Amino acid sequence: MSVLALGFLSWLPAARGSLTGWQLVMRGEILVVCFFLLLIASIGLLLTNNPVYHKLAVILGIGLSVLVFMMMIRLMPGSVALTFADIAPIVATFILLFANVTGLLLWQQSDLKINHSKRTGRRS
């Protein structure tokens, strides 16, 4: 959800038009549109109470991490000097990477819990 909120901040430096993430979506930048659509889908999957959908959301999150790098390389080719006001995509990338690690750890814990309940014959 915080990455969605970062869409309101500048994703491009002033030299490239100082556009926000949502302005890039409205301009029709295909990778940005795909990024935000997959992000919304991932959040929707996490809001369910189904562990299979949670695992799918983790896989989508890993894909989003790759997509954000592709997107920013395409939007800002070469070397670009960023100011503090232009770091929204960097913060979004760190949040996505942190969410990926957290999701994978929760995935492992879920599998351990399932395996433990199978061995003991209990349901949790």
Report pLDDT digits (tens) over 83-122.
Answer: 787 888 889 999 999 999 999 998 888 888 878 777 776 6
Residues 108, 124: Cα–Cα separation, whole Å = 16
Instruction: Give residue 86's identity as a one-letter amino acid code.
Output: D
Gap between the Cα atoms of 43 and 61, Å rounded? 9
CA proximity to 62, closest of 34, 110, 90, 98: 98
The interaxial angle of helices 88-120 and 51-75, nearest 10 deg, is: 160
For position 122, what pLDDT does the model report?
62
Q: What are phi and psi of 10, to 5 degrees?
A: -70, 130
**Amino acid identity, residue 116?**
H
Query: Is the per-residue pLDDT at 74 higher than 60?
Result: yes
Give tens-digit pLDDT for 46-65.
Answer: 999 888 899 999 999 999 99
pTM for this entry:
0.80
